[in-house]
Every structure is written in C-alpha cells, then in structure tokens.
A and B are shown apart, each in its own frame.
Chain A
C-alpha cells in the first residue's frame, strides 16, 4: 500500500490517476473490493452495510473486529472515491504525551498550516471546514470578539496586527469527552482527544461543550477530489469521514504516532510551531514551557489545554 503522500507529491498523483483510469475500466475489480455486487445499500453489499451498521465502538473491538473494520474502511473509500487508501490504527507510544506550543511573535498569519491541514487530514473541500483558525488581532488586545477570522489583505502580516492560530487544544480535562452521551470521543494515553467516526451519533453536544470552537460537523457527505486524497490514514484520525458525524484536529495522529511532525508544523514557514513529547525533559517543547513566557487560551475554564502560546 502507498505509504507516501506528503512529499512524493506530483509523481505519485500521476501514478494514482493512471491507476484510477484502469480502475474505472476494471469496474471496481481491484484488490480487496473484488466481491462487490451491483450498487445497492449505497453501493455496498448487504453484508458490508450490515458490518458498518453494527460496527462496535473502537475500544470495545477485538483485534479481529478492528481488522475487519479497517478493511471495510478501505473498501468504502474505494467505492466512494475510487482510491485505494491505507488505514491503520497505530497505537500510542509508551511514555509519550503530546503537547504543542505556538510562538505568536513569529507567526505571520500566512495560513500555510491551515491549508496543509486540510490536505493532510482529508477535510471536505466543499464544506470549507478547517481544523485551524488563524485569528488576526489588534496589537494590544487579546479580545477574541474583536478578532478577524476572515482577514484577507494582499500581504500579511499587517502593520499593527498579530496572529493567533487556534485549533483543538487536546485538553487534559476535555469538556467534550464528558459531554458525549455515547463515549464516541475520548482521550488516548498519549493525550490526543480522538473521535470514533463510526460510533458518533451526531448529537453535537460536544460542539456546545467545547470552549475553543474546535469541533466541526459534517452537515453533508464531505466531498474530496480523489486525486487529492491523502491515502495514509488512521482509524481515529484522517480517514475519510461519513456524513452526520463530528470531527476535529487530532494532532495528525497518523503521523505523530510514528514519530512524524504534524502537517501544520511541517508547513509553517516561520518555525512558529513546536510539537513534542511533554514527558521528555529534553524535548524542545519542555524547554519552551520552562524558559519562555507562555500562556494558554481560556485557562481559567480549567480544561487544561495541551496547546500553549509563547512569545520571544
């Protein structure tokens, strides 16, 4: 399977497009999806639909059931987008709790993080959902109500403004997790608050509970251009989402659990983003927390965000 996507870029896209054409001719005859009958039940076989319907919550599944669910996810992506994706469920590493620090003196408001995130995490292109929102603020205030969410000048940074990127804070005491009536969202041992998209009932109570407006809902089936799909996906992360469920930033779980950087950090041209293991005393993020002036957004609410802001 393709274990690529971020950098192999154009070359891979071309190869995949070639593959897609062949796929069209072979009428879904490729690989795992070979047994698909004519479209019924939304293009799936009855057994497939049955399997989706009675999928258990992730944490309740046995290894065998998880593997079956993962291959159903792969077949679903092939059906819906004609793309062969790789979906795994890499577990958390021992003695790792992830944290993030953003330097607001260096952030220039380019929004490269936002766009990298959209691509990396297979966000619906039509819905314009973005996990990261960069707020343009007047120097001298941190009043969110005065922030500009949709700033669009010819060039950034604008004189007299500074930029505050906001995304899921991966709270250590997450109010969204408490709110969920069906335990479809929880905090993993490495500190990432995840969502089981196949378990969420779409009540959106977590969205009411989140003080950071980090959660987004799929009001319709998200539309993804097949050629832009990131095929390296994680069960609790960036796999293509169904309609009617909530999603949010997951610290690029598909990358970070394998030692990689989140896409937003990799994309940041100013080096304003520092991601790392809070339990490692030699990590850069620990250095920042111990030596810089840091603050957290809405710290007074007591949700213990694991995303800090700092200044030089």
Chain B
C-alpha cells in the first residue's frame, strides 16, 4: 500500500518535472483547456442553443469527433496484438504508449458525449440500479458499457506492468495476459458498437448500411496508425526513449492496407448509391454534390477523399512509404482526411435531408470549436503525462528504492 502511494507520488513528481519545452507544451495545453472550459460553462448557462445544432441536425461537431476518436482508441490494438500475441520485442517496447493513447482517446470520446448532453446534471440516470439503464435495448447504453470497460482495461494493464517494473518485479504474464486478450476483442467491439449506434437507425438511410461497421474499422486502422507513427517519431526526438524503426515500418504497412480497404469501401458505397439513385442516396448526394443549392460539406468531402487517395498512393509505393518525410505526409493526410470523412462527413449527412425531406444545413459555432479544442488539449495533456511517466519507468529512471525485505528483485523486467 505504501509503495503504491510512493509510486503515484513519484509519478506525479515525474509529470511535473521537465525542460522548458515540456513545460511550455503543458502550459499551452492547459490554457487551451481552460479557455474551452469557460466556453463550456457558457454552454451550461445558456443551453445547447449556443451550438449550431438544430432539431433538423441534432448531432454535430461533438458527436463527429466522438465517432472519430473511438476509432483512434480502437487502433491501439494494432500494437497490442503484435506485442502480446506475437511477442515482437520491438513492439512490446512501445505498446504501453499505444495503450496510453487509447486511454486518452477514450477519455476524449466520453467527454465529447458529455458536452453534447442537454442535461449533464442527470448523467447519474445512466448508472445501473440508481438510475435506469436501457440495456441491452439501447445501442447508446451498449456504447457506454464498452467504452468504460475499454478505458478500464487500458488503464489497468499498463498500470500493473509499470507498477511491477517500478518495484523491480517482472510483471507476471499469467496475471495480465487474459486481460490483454480481452482488450483485443474489446477494441473491435468499441468501434463496431459505435458504428451500430449509427447503422441501427433505419430512418436514416445514410447510416443504415451494413458496410458502416467495416468502414469504421478500416478507417480506424488507417487513422490510428497514422497518429501512432507521428507520435512515436516525436517521442523519439524529444525523449531518450528508443523507438525502433521496425515498429514504424510495421505500422506503415498496416496503415497502407487499411487505407486501401477504406478507399475501396467508399467506392463501393458511391457505386451502390449512385448507379440507381433512389431516396436512399439523398444524403450522399447532398454530401458529394450538394442539393438544391445547399453544399456546405461538398468541398470538405472532396478534399478528404483526395487526401486519403494521396495518402494511399504514398503508402502503396514501397520506396515512398520508406521515405520518412513522405510517410509523415501520408500520415498527416490520412489522419485529417479520415477525421473529415468519418467525423462531419458521416454524422451530418445522416440528418440532411431530414426524414421528412427538409434540407437544413449545420455550421458549428465558435463555442463548439473552443470546447472541442479543449477536449483535444485535455487528451493530449493526458497522453503527455502518461507517456512521460511510462518512459521514466521503462528506462529505469523512476524506480522504487529497494526495500530490504523484498526478495525477487528483477531489474530487467
């Protein structure tokens, strides 16, 4: 108990320590988070009317970010599987960072749902027994369950491993491996359930397609590795932590395949909807071509499509993929492209036209941007702190002073 306390204390100390760049980065994030929090207080005071949402488009920028971030969270499994199931030592060295990213991404996703609620003061209505939880009927209830369990899994596994290493023990594989296996399946479940949340609505033809869940997984496995590749390079530069190139190469190949599949799915969707254009195609028509003079998303979706295509080509050509600068370009393009495509590009057209055929466009407000930015800042800050502590433990910089009665000391871990 005492050592757990010391572990947390040392962790906090490690998080607060750092060079001027590190401090500047953290303070900058805190400022962004604080500004958005003030905006959120305004939203609480006036209600959701400070957003651009309406009865016609009743979900907007918040839920768009939510859908995207669940995918980022799920993609951590792409490090977990090679690390724990195939025992690749190079991946194992960075798997904790992937799990940290999952924690940050799930937290952001949950925050995006909370800021979208009309009555956050009634959140407790969701707690089983105290409130009334419509499980298993409601897909939103499913999402609450899978996201929270996923958060817990990705907190506990790295915590156990880090805490063991901190005390100089080798983490017992038998203790954590069952949970790792669970986390692998759970990663797929969080994103599948999030897709089902949308595709369950038969009154929204744009979402109501069985391709939605596969599309979600494919785009997650493209955007997730993109973020991990970029993050690992940043960490390699700003910390002493060794990140092997082989890990980045592996992730680039995964991203290549996922992006190819993702683009293929988009083409499949476009063909099916446009070849014999029926009522089912109204939303996709609005999205890609505009409708009756309304085309707020048209340029965005074409830019996103272009970004994804360029990323796919770079990734597919072997020498280009190995050129780090080009790979990084592909990662940025793929990340932003998918953020547009399955964020705003997925959520908003589901509402346009409305089930009664009305076209009413949606534009996010400054408040929504500020709050969204704050949530991203909180997520980045969480990841920064977790990565800092994890790296300190992994490199042996943060260790418990060996107590005299402790027997099995294994500094290697």
Interface residues of A (CB under 8 A from B): 53, 57, 60, 129, 133, 135, 143-147, 149, 166, 175, 178-184, 199-205, 207-213, 215-221, 242-246, 298, 301-302
Contacts and interface: CB of A to CB of B under 8 A. Distances in A.
Contact of B353 (A145, A184, A244, A246): A145
A181 B356 contact: no
B401 to A, nearest CB: 48
Of the listed residues B134, B137, B141, B356, the one surrounded by the most CB atoms of chain A closer than 10 A to its CB is B356
B356 A178 contact: no
A209 B355 CA distance: 10
Of the listed residues B58, B113, B120, B141, the one surrounded by the most CB atoms of chain A closer than 10 A to its CB is B58
Smallest CB-CB A-B distances: 9 pairs: A202-B118, A211-B203, A244-B118, A144-B357, A145-B357, A219-B49, A181-B140, A220-B49, A220-B47
A135 B141 CA distance: 35
Interface string B130-168: 011110011111001000000000000000000000000
27 contacts: A133-B356, A135-B357, A143-B279, A145-B279, A145-B357, A149-B358, A175-B202, A178-B138, A179-B140, A179-B201, A181-B126, A182-B122, A182-B126, A199-B122, A202-B118, A203-B116, A203-B118, A210-B203, A212-B355, A212-B356, A213-B354, A217-B55, A217-B58, A218-B47, A220-B49, A242-B119, A298-B203
Of the listed residues B139, B141, B203, the one surrounded by the most CB atoms of chain A closer than 10 A to its CB is B203
Contacts of A166: 356
A208 B357 contact: no
B231 to A, nearest CB: 31
A207 B347 CA distance: 13
B325 interface: no
Contacts of A183: 132-134
B125 A204 contact: no
SS class, residues of chain A in contact with chain B: loop
B54 interface: yes
Contacts of B204: 208
A135 B49 contact: no
A181 B133 contact: yes
Contacts of B46: 220
A150 B133 CA distance: 39
Interface in B192-220: 197-198, 200-204
B355 A178 contact: no
Contacts of B357: 135, 143-147, 149
B222 interface: no
A221 B47 CA distance: 8
A31 B144 CA distance: 44
A243 B355 CA distance: 24
A202 B44 CA distance: 13
Nearest to A197: B119
A218 B53 CA distance: 11
A178 B118 contact: no
Nearest to A208: B201
**Which of the four size classes fits the interface of chain B?**
35 or more
Contacts of A57: 125, 131-132
Of the listed residues A181, A202, A216, A244, the one surrounded by the most CB atoms of chain B closer than 10 A to its CB is A181
Contacts of B317: none
SS class, residues of chain B in contact with chain A: loop
Contacts of A201: 117-120, 122-123, 125-126
Nearest to B138: A181
B118 A245 contact: yes
B121 interface: yes
Contacts of B122: 182, 199-202
B350 interface: yes
A183 B48 CA distance: 22
A272 B109 CA distance: 48
A111 to B, nearest CB: 15
A217 B118 contact: yes
B337 to A, nearest CB: 25
B203 A216 contact: no
B144 A181 contact: yes
Contacts of A243: 47, 118
A175 B201 contact: yes
B69 interface: no
A301 B203 contact: yes
Contacts of A175: 201-203
B302 to A, nearest CB: 23
B7 interface: no
Contacts of A184: 125, 132
Contact of A213 (B47, B121, B355): B355
Given A201-B122, A201-B126, A219-B48, A209 B133 contact: no
B59 interface: yes
A202 B119 CA distance: 5
Given A166-B356, A178-B137, A200 B203 contact: no
B59 A208 contact: yes
Given A201-B117, A204-B59, A219 B53 contact: yes
B58 A207 contact: yes
A72 to B, nearest CB: 16
Given A209-B203, A211-B355, A244-B47, 19 more contacts: A133-B356, A144-B355, A144-B356, A146-B357, A147-B357, A149-B357, A149-B358, A181-B140, A199-B132, A201-B122, A202-B118, A203-B116, A203-B117, A205-B138, A212-B355, A213-B56, A213-B356, A220-B48, A301-B203
Nearest to B48: A219
B237 to A, nearest CB: 41
Contact of A182 (B55, B125, B279, B353): B125
B119 A245 contact: yes
Contacts of A143: 279, 357
Contacts of A179: 138-140, 200-201
A199 B49 CA distance: 20
A106 B3 CA distance: 80
Contacts of A221: 47
Of the listed residues B59, B134, B198, the one surrounded by the most CB atoms of chain A closer than 10 A to its CB is B134
Contacts of B202: 175, 211, 301-302
A166 B358 CA distance: 13
A204 B118 contact: yes
Of the listed residues A178, A203, A216, the one surrounded by the most CB atoms of chain B closer than 10 A to its CB is A203
A145 B282 contact: yes
Of the listed residues B133, B137, B351, the one surrounded by the most CB atoms of chain A closer than 10 A to its CB is B137
Nearest to A59: B132
Contacts of B55: 129, 207, 213, 215-217
A243 B118 CA distance: 8
A147 B139 CA distance: 32
